[in-house]
């Protein structure tokens, strides 16, 4: 496997995965419609990797565009990131999410089938575990969702299972991400949403750069170490490397892996670590719980370790340092 098509390759996780792919001598082809990313990221990727990267500004829903790419680039495997991902917006506009996330995936799978490319890695989320019955979360836990965004991830997982059942030629890896934060060590790429962020780390960054006045901590009465929500934060570069291991995996068929660290960190712990390692203050207040949030969520990483050799190498301190390094280099 040499030529890898990365859908959504200019996005946060996509771009970091492109870096790891290039480091491991894959040739990368990106399709991205720039709906939630910037073309500047392409130049930065070329700067970091010093490699040629083919880029197509197109929508994955557009089958004709996909066919042209498959014809020209001789794609061996696809890593599919492209999709809408704002939980709150998905509740307000469910059809927008179902249309885009399902349509793009079905179009992609049809074109892959037509060009006999059966190797796929799909970017799923720990959101498919809903409220877990116990911790750490294993891959065979029951699945449920609390919002349309999460449901698109779960539906796509089901589609992939049906596809594999219909034709065992398919070689599919579903990766369920926990909470990726941090940024590439170069400080050139990272996560900097244009709108008000939904997720914790981008929100902290906007408070530190004074673009937003205060971090609201959503509840301090959860059943956790200090009452604030606990999550499994993973450095985005570690997560990205997990995709390289998934490509190299000798095991065939349909495989599902958690990508996390196996370690839970509370909101307050994350904020305190951020303040300590970066020597800054984060203005914060405790507010009420955010609807749909759960107490705690962290991964069992045993399966990914056993079958892929995956083990995260960066800790939360490093994630906080790298996230702040990126934002310092990319704001005035
Ligand atoms: C969220 C999504 C999940 C998605 C994931 C993508 C929800 C309910 N879940 O997960 O579906 O896959 O992002 O990365 O939105 N927090 C604050 N203040 C903030 C923001 C967050 O206190 O301004 C807290 C949350 O209550 C939570 C923790 O920080 O305890 C992490 O939140 P977040 O970064 O949004 O991730 P998840 O909720 O785990």
Q: Which tens digit of pLDDT belongs to each residue from 211-239?
A: 999 999 999 999 999 999 999 999 999 99
Distance 72 CA to ligand 1 centre (A): 40
Distance 125 CA to ligand 1 centre (A): 12
**Closest CA relative to residue 230, chosen from 132, 89, 85:** 132
| 116 torsion bin: left (phi>0), alpha (psi -120 to 50), beta (else) | left
- Is 298 within 8 Å of 312 (Cβ atoms)? no
pLDDT in tens, 61-101: 999 999 999 999 999 999 999 999 999 999 999 999 999 99
Q: Is 292 in the pocket of ligand 1 (CB under 6 A)?
A: yes
Q: Is 119 in the pocket of ligand 1 (CB under 6 A)?
A: no
| Domain extents in the chain | 3-182+233-260
What's residue 192's pLDDT?
86
Q: Quickly state the pLDDT bin for 195 (edges 50, 70, 90).
A: confident
Average pLDDT score over residue span 280-309: 97
Nearest atom within ligand 1 for CA of residue 125: 12
Structure tokens at 177: 């991400």
CA distance 155 to 133: 21
CA distance 217 to 214: 9
Q: What's the chain's length in residues?
A: 332
Q: What pTM did the predictor assign?
A: 0.98
The protein residue whose alpha carbon is closest to atom 11 in ligand 1 is 127
Q: Is 267 in the pocket of ligand 1 (CB under 6 A)?
A: yes
> 265 has which bridge partners?
231
For ligand 1, pick from 127, 152, 216, 296 the residue to mutate: most ligand atoms within 8 Å of CB: 127
**Which residues neighbour 328 within 8 Å (Cβ) at sequence distance 6 or greater?**
187
CA distance 181 to 255: 24
Q: Is 55 in the pocket of ligand 1 (CB under 6 A)?
A: no
What's residue 194's pLDDT?
82
Q: Quickly state the pLDDT bin for 159 (edges 50, 70, 90).
A: very high
Structure tokens at 196: 């008000």
CATH class of 3-182+233-260: alpha beta
> 30 has which bridge partners?
6, 55
Nearest atom within ligand 1 for CA of residue 179: 14
What's residue 193's pLDDT?
87
Pairing type for strands 215-218 and 284-287 reads: parallel
Q: Is 88 in the pocket of ligand 1 (CB under 6 A)?
A: no
What's residue 323's pLDDT?
98
Q: Quickly state the pLDDT bin for 331 (edges 50, 70, 90).
A: confident
Residue 271: pLDDT over 90: yes
pLDDT in tens, 241-254: 999 999 999 999 99
Give a three-class secondary structure readout of 169-217.
CCEEEEEEECEEECCCCCCCCCCCCCCCCCCHHHHHHHHHCCCCCCEEE
Average pLDDT score over residue span 262-266: 98
pLDDT in tens, 32-62: 999 999 999 999 999 999 999 999 999 999 9
Distance 201 CA to ligand 1 centre (A): 9
CA distance 199 to 219: 15
Q: Is 218 in the pocket of ligand 1 (CB under 6 A)?
A: yes
The protein residue whose alpha carbon is closest to atom 30 in ligand 1 is 229
The side-by-side arrangement of strands in the sheet containing 27-31 is: 54-56, 27-31, 3-7, 77-80, 119-125, 171-177, 254-259
Nearest atom within ligand 1 for CA of residue 267: 29
Is 149 noted as a catalytic residue in this protein?
A: yes
Query: Active-site residue among 149, 222, 314, 324?
Result: 149
């Amino acid at each position: 496997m040499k030529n890898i098509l990365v859908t959504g390759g200019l996005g946060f996780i996509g771009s970091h995965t492109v870096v790891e792919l290039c480091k491991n001598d894959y040739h990368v082809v990106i399709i991205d419609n720039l709906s939630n990313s910037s073309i500047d990221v392409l130049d930065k990727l070329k700067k970091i990797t010093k490699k040629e990267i083919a880029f197509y500004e197109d929508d994955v829903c557009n089958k004709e565009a996909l066919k042209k790419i498959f014809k020209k680039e001789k794609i061996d495997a696809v890593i599919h990131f492209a999709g809408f991902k704002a939980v709150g917006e998905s509740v307000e506009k469910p059809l927008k999410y179902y249309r885009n996330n399902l349509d793009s995936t079905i179009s992609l799978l049809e074109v892959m089938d037509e060009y006999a490319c059966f190797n796929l890695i799909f970017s799923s989320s720990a959101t498919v575990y809903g409220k877990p019955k116990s911790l750490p979360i294993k891959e065979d836990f029951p699945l449920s969702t609390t919002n349309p965004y999460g449901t698109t991830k779960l539906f796509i997982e089901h589609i992939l299972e049906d596809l594999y059942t219909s034709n065992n030629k398919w070689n599919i890896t579903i990766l369920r991400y926990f909470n990726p934060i941090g940024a590439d060590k170069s400080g050139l790429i990272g996560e900097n949403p244009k709108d008000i962020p939904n997720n914790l780390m981008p929100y902290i960054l906007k408070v530190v750069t004074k673009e937003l006045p205060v971090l609201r901590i959503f509840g301090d009465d959860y059943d956790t170490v200090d009452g604030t929500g606990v999550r499994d934060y993973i450095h985005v570069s570690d997560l990205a490397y997990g995709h390289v291991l998934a490509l190299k995996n000798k095991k065939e068929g349909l495989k599902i892996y958690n990508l996390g660290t196996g370690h839970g960190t509370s909101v307050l712990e994350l904020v305190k670590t951020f303040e300590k390692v970066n020597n800054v203050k984060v203005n914060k207040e405790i507010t009420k719980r955010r609807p749909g949030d759960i107490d705690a969520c962290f991964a069992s990483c045993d399966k990914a370790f056993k079958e892929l050799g995956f083990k995260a190498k960066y800790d939360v301190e490093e994630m906080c340092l790298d996230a702040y390094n990126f934002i310092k280099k990319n704001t005035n």
